Amino acid sequence: MTRRPSAKIAAYVGVAALTLLAGLSLGRPELVAVAAPLAVLVVAGLAGARDPEVDAEVRVDRERALVGDQVTVSLDLRAATRVERLELLLVVPPGMAGPDGGPGGSRLAPRRAGGGPGGSRLAPRRAGGGTRTWAVAVSLAAGEERTLDVPVTCHRWGAYWLGDVHLRAHDRFRLFTWERHLDGHAPLKVFPVPDALRALVSPFETQVSTGSHVAASRGDGIEFADLRPFLPGDRPRSINWRATARRGTLMVNQRHPERATDVVLFLDSFLDVRGAAGSTLDQAVGAAASLASAYLRQRDRVGLVSFGGFVQWLQPGSGQAALYRLLDTLMETQVFATAAWKGIRHLPPRTLPAKALIVALTPLVDERGVAALFDLLARGYDLAVVDISPLTPAAPAGGGEWGELAQRLWALERETLRHRYQRLGAAVVEWTEATTLQQVLLEVEACRRHAGLAPG
Amino acid sequence: MPAPRRARTRLSCGLAATAVAAGLAAAPLAAVPGRLRPALAWLAALGLVLAAAAALRLGSLLGPALVVLVAEHAVVAVRAGARVDAAAPLVGAGLLLYAELASWAREANPRVRDERAVLTTRAAVVAASTLAAVVVGALVLLAAALPAGEGLARLAVGVVATTATLALVAVVARPTATRAPPG
């Protein structure tokens, strides 16, 4: 621990020295009597000051939580020597909150490095707000062990490191302080709560594995597709006796098989536009988690491409393990500022399987993300674009008349861009703050049906 | 303890320190008659302002506040002539009490929740220090009254005490020792 003298020790010693000198020169014992207590207190403090021996550890009661959950951060303290006053300051990263009305609530300067959606995250990210702290002062007897539990509420998704603790010990007379910083490593991943989605975007083509989507092709299934004349090898149970009676020749039913599909969630993470309603990246990550959960529930394979300054991908997979892998990858999604041009060719080919449905979640603000979507369309992928609008129609544009004009121009540009995608065959729907993800998905589906892209 | 109560702790310590300082500043005025009183009143006012500022806002003014308050009492002591002021131990204890309360007010961070045991111990230490200060001051005055300590011997004791205090200044002012945290 680093020892520091307090400010008052200098004041006490200085005043005592001056007063003693004055008493000596003036020959007044009263001045010595006035100065003596200050000097004696400093001497007593110096004689009694011992480096405190305190050990501290930080634990979190779990490693995974959902947004809105409360987790308990435990500070285990062990003192080998008596500590008169020990201040503990736990840094609560942005996106999390300490106990209500508790000692927390002090706002430090926003931290850039190591910040989660701001603060101490596994991956550095642009700080969205200030770092909050929770602090308490305790006294410990020699050999005492104590555990302090701090309830922390998770307000935002992300991967966090909890355990940034500052310790400050004081001696009996508060003449010295000893400080130490613990950079603990208690990881916590906070997942967004997935929306309950009743309807999803149906793929244009399906894969060969069995699933929940009615395929456009014909084969064994439930949904009736067509009639055809009987051929050798057809199963007798497929014969449609009514049609056979009408036509005078054996006719069999053809059906649509139920197939699974590959869905790739394409997350544009080049830029994060933050507004009063939230951030576009938050919306995109929440939507991706909801979509992944919903598609995996119906036995589809889901992959992820986080396309930004830092490109991450996951090949399509199915099952609970794939969901956790995908959520873990989503938690590390971040805006990484770079001017380097990124294209689809940077992705491994297996990341974007043929016939896969690509659901793009993008604010359509970065040229590289926009170009990548055009590239995907040119390569013939089945693409649905959810345009997470950074525009807030309810909020007035800053900058007065010119600001309003600029906002209108921007809105027109975005509309033109959406029309360009639609002309190339992609379904594009703007997701404004007034609509839910489910509404947006229904609109995408309607748009695809209208354009003749989706089955049904 | 909720934050407003912690803020109250800070405020009450600051106000108590200011009250003690007011008492210390006002006491010499009664002992000094005549033309010196207005000048001493100005000095008292300055001391009070500095003391209040140190207790309530600017902790760095603690030293100057103590110096001004001591200077006021030094004037009274010099004017007293051969008579020794028997209230000097109380003044010393008062100064210590003021300084401790002012420091406590500066320490009491509303963001930090102090356990009750910490507050109780702190209050006990301040009270005990004040009582000990009275005893120490009284002992000093008693030692000064001893007949054995006349002339050169008393001067030698004073020089030694002052030198020791200055040595203490040097000890305190040395660079802080830093030890790497274990592990």
For B102-138, the pLDDT digits (tens) are 988 888 777 788 888 888 888 898 999 999 888 888 8
Cβ–Cβ gap A12/B137 under 8 Å:
no
Q: Are A81 and A98 in contact (CB under 8 A)?
A: no
What is the full DSSP assignment across A35-71?
Answer: HHHHHHHHHHHHHH-----EEEEEEES-SEEETT-EE
- Closest to A172 (Cα-Cα) out of A79, A52, A89: A52
Q: Mapping DSSP to helix (H, G, I), strand (E, B) and coil, where does residue B165 land?
A: helix
Token pair 């028997």 in the structure block, residue? B86
- Strand boundaries in A309-396, DSSP class E: 312-317, 357-362, 382-388
What are the residues whose beta carbons fall under 8 Å from the beta carbon of A337, sequence distance 6 or more? A126, A309
CA distance A1 to chain B (A): 5
Q: Is A103 on the interface with B (CB under 8 A)?
A: yes
- For residue A286, give the nearest of A223, A339, A361 by alpha carbon: A361
Check A36 against B136: CB less than 8 A apart.
yes
pLDDT of residue A149: 87
Distance, CA of A184 to CA of A165 (rounded, Å): 7
Q: What are phi and psi of B73, to 5 degrees?
A: -70, -30
Instruction: Report how far residue A172's alpha carbon sits from residue A443's, in angstroms, rounded to the nearest whole number.
Output: 69
Q: How far is CA A149 from the centre of its chain?
A: 25
Could B113 and A137 be called an inter-chain contact, meaning their C-beta atoms sit closer than 8 Å? Answer: yes
User: Which chain A positions have a beta carbon within 8 Å of B138's beta carbon?
Assistant: 33
The first and second tokens of residue A266, run together, are 């394409």
Mean pLDDT of chain A: 81
**CB within 8 Å of chain A, chain B residues 105-124:** 107, 109, 111-115, 117-118, 121-122
Tell whether A13 lies on the interface with B, counting CB pairs under 8 A.
Answer: yes
pLDDT at A247: 92
Window 333-392 of A, Cβ < 8 Å to B: none
Nearest CA-CA partner of A154 in A67, A92, A64:
A67
Which of chain B's residues have a Cβ under 8 Å away from the Cβ of A36? 92, 133, 136-137, 140
ipTM: 0.82
Rounded to whole angstroms, the Cα distance separating B125 from B123 reads 5
pLDDT value for A116:
35
Burial, B80: exposed, middle or buried (Cβ in 10 Å; 0-12, 13-18, 19+)? Answer: middle
Interface contact B66-A11, CB threshold 8 A: yes
**Mean pLDDT for back-to-back runs of 10 residues, chain B (183 residues):** 64 88 84 78 87 84 87 81 79 90 84 83 90 87 69 72 72 55 44
A183 touching chain B per CB within 8 A? no
pLDDT at position A202 is 85
Q: Which long-range contacts (CB under 8 A, 24 or more apart) does B34-40 make?
A: B36/B75, B36/B79, B40/B72, B40/B75, B40/B76
> What pLDDT does residue B26 have?
85
Q: Which of A12, A46, A105 sits opposite B3 (nearest CB)?
A: A105
Nearest partner of A36 among B140, B101, B152, judged by Cα: B140
Q: How many CB atoms lie within 10 A of CB A124?
A: 15
pLDDT of residue A396: 63
pLDDT means over runs of 10, chain A (456 residues): 80 85 81 86 82 85 87 87 86 80 39 33 36 80 86 86 85 85 82 85 82 81 89 90 93 89 90 77 89 90 87 88 88 73 77 88 88 88 89 67 85 90 88 87 87 56
